[in-house]
Amino acid sequence: MTDIYSTKHIIMGDGERYKLLVNANTGIPLYYPTLYITSQIRGGGQSVSTIQSFITSLKVLLRWSDHYSLDMEERFIRKEFLTLQEVESLRDFCKKPLKEKEPEKSNVIALKRIREGARMAMSKTTPGVYSHTQYNRMTFIADYLKWFAEILTKDRHDQADKSYITAMHKRIKAHRPKKKRRTNRDRDEKGLDLKIVDQVMEVLKPGHEKNPFHDPGVQVRNALIIAMLRFLGIRRGELLNLRVEDINFVSNEVLIFRRPDSLLDPRTYQPLAKTLERTLPINDKLAEKLSKYVTAVRSKFPQARRHPYMFITHKAGPYQGAPLSNSGFGKLMKEVQGISENFAGVHAHSFRHTWNYSFSVLLDTSKEEISSEREEQMRSYLMGWADGSGTAAVYNRRPIKEKAKEAILEHQKDMMKEGVFRDGEK
């Protein structure tokens, strides 16, 4: 079954990135989804990534309604809102991967078929999406259907209709999967083993025999990318958003800027800096290598002179010399992960976690006495977090837990010396 819904990506005259849900056959935007995106999401100041999440969720809703031949507009005009069985069916459909092909469409709408179809949608042979993905899909769908029902009945609905619409909205949200409680391990233990980090940096050195990238220029670029992630702890979006002018080769500083909807960025999927703007110092050696990349490698690509972004695509083709894209960066990381089984956990954000661990250890071994409040302020600035957000405190848990483990093991040793085991065991 060919999906008749697709996403259209637009870069407006002022640089704003925008997305629309269109009919794949005609290219015409779908009226009500476009109205909702414009008035509720974009009008509410939400980001383009939120628009994409909504579009993905709405594709699921539309495929579900098409599969069961449910005309939602006609139903809502007749004031026939979703039943409990339909909500359950929709819930199960939201577990399905969006790219999965659907079985043959039927014009027969029956309660039994909806129930059976819902069970078949998640057969053992079909891997489902993560629960948080299903949760987000159902949240978007619930909000959209509530708005959609209110729009279609606004000129003739009474208090009872409003109650039915509200009940449908609550029912869909009530069927979302429970959110898993985040544990301390979610953040403070996601860093890489420092030995693994050293191995990655060693293998990616230009000229290393195990370097999976053969082009000398690509090797230089990739080594610098990993170095920036390792030494600065910056996000992927911040790295890809970096411009040559952001690096001060006199003072050896890197400026992290937020540039949403930049006219100078030709990438449809513009990498964005999510954190606060800041200035980060770099050492002489890293500054020198960055300068050499700009003057001896990047300068060889004519298209690179048309934009200011630091890291570029080297592969031959229409995008050669263009700014490195999110997908290009993803391919780089996938290649690195394939070097060794030990590298499977290597990704951009793992370097950020590793940086925070290293920073904690550095401060713990420092001769200067630094208060926990001062440490949190320093970490928040370097990471681009707002003061008092509490994010900085999370990343200090891992070294604290390591110290706690050492302390309790030492305590157990002392207890064993005192003859805790009464049966004579040692």
Question: 17-23 and 247-248: which strand pairing?
Answer: unpaired
* pLDDT value, residue 34: 96
Q: Residue 330: inside a domain, yes or no?
A: yes
d(CA 82, CA 84): 7
Q: Please tell me whether residues 238 and 120 are part of one structural domain.
A: no
Question: Which of these, 252, 256, 282, 286, lies nearest to 271 by C-alpha position?
Answer: 256
Q: Please tell me whether residues 133 and 24 are part of one structural domain.
A: yes
| Burial readout 252-265 (b: 16 or more C-beta within 10 A, e: otherwise) | bebebeebeebeeb
The answer, yes or no, to whether residue 98 has pLDDT greater than 70, is: yes
Q: Of 313, 331, 353, which closes a domain?
A: 353
Q: Residue 98: inside a domain, yes or no?
A: yes
Q: Residue 391: inside a domain, yes or no?
A: no
Q: 395 or 304: whose pLDDT is higher?
A: 304
Instruction: Report yes or no: 168 and 80 within 8 Å, Cβ to Cβ.
Output: no
Token match 């937020």: residue? Answer: 258
Q: Residue 90: inside a domain, yes or no?
A: yes
The answer, yes or no, to whether residue 243 has pLDDT greater than 50, is: yes
Q: Residue 169: inside a domain, yes or no?
A: yes
Q: Please tell me whether residues 169 and 225 are part of one structural domain.
A: no
Q: Please tell me whether residues 257 and 299 are part of one structural domain.
A: yes
Q: Residue 373: inside a domain, yes or no?
A: no
Kindly state the average pLDDT of the residues 135-147: 97
The answer, yes or no, to whether residue 107 has pLDDT greater than 50, is: no
Q: Please tell me whether residues 41 and 77 are part of one structural domain.
A: yes
Q: Please tell me whether residues 54 and 135 are part of one structural domain.
A: yes
Q: 8 or 111: whose pLDDT is higher?
A: 8
201: CATH: 1.10.443.10
Q: Please tell me whether residues 140 and 229 are part of one structural domain.
A: no
Q: Residue 387: inside a domain, yes or no?
A: no
Q: Residue 393: inside a domain, yes or no?
A: no
Q: 180: pLDDT confidence band, cut at 50, 70 and 90?
A: confident
Q: Please tell me whether residues 280 and 342 are part of one structural domain.
A: yes
The answer, yes or no, to whether residue 188 has pLDDT greater than 60, is: no
Helix (H) or strand (E) holding 7: strand 5-11
Residues in the chain, total = 426
Mean residue pLDDT of the chain comes to 87
Q: 388: pLDDT confidence band, cut at 50, 70 and 90?
A: confident
Q: Please tell me whether residues 283 and 343 are part of one structural domain.
A: yes
Task: Give residue 207's region: left, alpha or beta (phi > 0; psi -120 to 50).
Answer: left
**Which structural domain range is residue 311 located in?**
186-353
Mean pLDDT lowest for which of 10-14, 103-107, 196-200, 365-369?
103-107
The answer, yes or no, to whether residue 422 has pLDDT greater than 80, is: no
pLDDT digits (tens, 9 = 90+) for 306-337: 999 999 999 999 999 999 999 999 999 999 99
Q: Please tell me whether residues 89 and 30 are part of one structural domain.
A: yes
Q: Of 142, 174, 206, which closes a domain?
A: 174
The answer, yes or no, to whether residue 403 has pLDDT greater than 80, is: no
Query: How many structural domains does the chain have?
Result: 2
Q: Of 135, 151, 174, which closes a domain?
A: 174
pLDDT digits (tens, 9 = 90+) for 5-49: 999 999 888 888 899 999 999 999 999 999 999 999 988 888 888
Token match 């909205």: residue? Answer: 169
d(CA 81, CA 162): 11
Q: 124: pLDDT confidence band, cut at 50, 70 and 90?
A: very low
Q: Please tell me whether residues 238 and 332 are part of one structural domain.
A: yes
d(CA 127, CA 97): 8
What angle, rounded to 10 degrees, do the helices at 348-364 and 372-383 form?
150
Q: Please tell me whether residues 203 and 344 are part of one structural domain.
A: yes
Q: 103: pLDDT confidence band, cut at 50, 70 and 90?
A: very low
Distances (CA, A) of 379 to 232, 256, 335, 350, 355: 11, 15, 31, 17, 10
